[in-house]
Amino acid sequence: MPQSLDASMPSSSPVPDAYCQVPFSPPSDPPGRLPAFLDRSPLVVWCVALPAFIWLALRFHERGLGALDLNSANLAFLALGLVLHNSASRYAAAIEDGARGCAGIILQFPLYAGILGMIRGSGLGAAVSGAFAGAAGGSEPLLRVMTFCSAGLVNLFVPSGGGQWAVQAPIALQAAADADADPGAIVMAVAYGDQWTNMLQPFWALPLLAITGVKARDIVGYTAIALVAGGAWMCLCLILL
């Protein structure tokens, strides 16, 4: 290559790796704050583990080895893991280290299933849905909106479409029959309510949050804006449907 041409070309020396890597660390709570205290406190661990151990002991005392199934084994491992790590934050970090990319789902799905079981067994879900249906007063457009709102509320505690349908469907369809309303519109109101509060709690974003290292609370402010705007639009559509 001619000397003049070589001198005019830019230098091709590699950029040091230190300048290419941008470390990212999400902000953490100061040690004195309540969330940080609860993350590190054994109190939270025993509030979950002790009732689990009592329930398992009573169940095995009543049924013997017949009580051993997938649910009891899952609960036992969850409680033992919490006790052995002695804090919720250490247990979550251990799961993250062992199952990167899906740790949030592995840890939270059993808790959601337990909430679903308590809501169904206690009748709380049916009571909430029934109260909203009664407040509609037989008006079909208002019934759609109230069903939508009750579905959004139930979804905060049972963030699973199938589980929520099992809790709410009998009440919603019975309310539609009593008000002589279109059952298809009521079914869609339940579905819209389920999707509505999914905008607030980024349950759908758990795999992405695990990959990026961002915490759920860092995006809740943005998802709350979508919740308000989307809820107003959905209610308007249900009224005019």
The tens digit of pLDDT for each residue in 59-93 reads 999 998 888 998 899 899 989 998 999 888 888 88
Please state, in angstroms and rounded to a whole number, the distance separating the CA atoms of residues 159 and 168: 13
DSSP 8-state code for residue 13: P
What are the backbone dihedrals phi and psi of residue 195, each rounded to the nearest 5 degrees, phi first?
Answer: -75, -25
Torsion sign across C-alpha atoms 115, 120, 121, 123: positive
Distance in angstroms (rounded) separating the CA atoms of residues 85 and 142: 50
Q: Quick one: which of 219, 194, 221 has its CA closest to 209? A: 219
CB 56 within 8 A of CB 83: no
Please state, as a whole number, how many other Cβ atoms lie within 10 Å of the Cβ of residue 188: 18
pLDDT band at residue 148 using 50, 70 and 90 as cut-offs: very high
Q: How far is CA 146 from the centre of its chain?
A: 22
Q: What's the pLDDT score for residue 110? A: 80
53/40 Cα distance (integer angstroms): 21
Tracing tokens 């339940």 back to the chain, one arrives at 190
Residue 9 has pLDDT above 80, yes or no: no
Residue 125 phi/psi, 5° resolution? -60, -45
The whole-number pLDDT of residue 28 equals 54
What pLDDT, on the 0 to 100 scale, is given for residue 100?
74
Distance separating alpha carbons of residues 156 and 159, to the nearest angstrom: 6
* 3-state DSSP percent of the chain in helix, strand and coil, to 5: 80, 0, 20
Report the mean per-residue pLDDT for the chain. 79
How would residue 31 be classed by pLDDT, with cut points 50, 70 and 90?
A: low
Q: In the predicted model, is pLDDT for residue 53 greater than 90? A: yes
What pLDDT was estimated at residue 29?
52
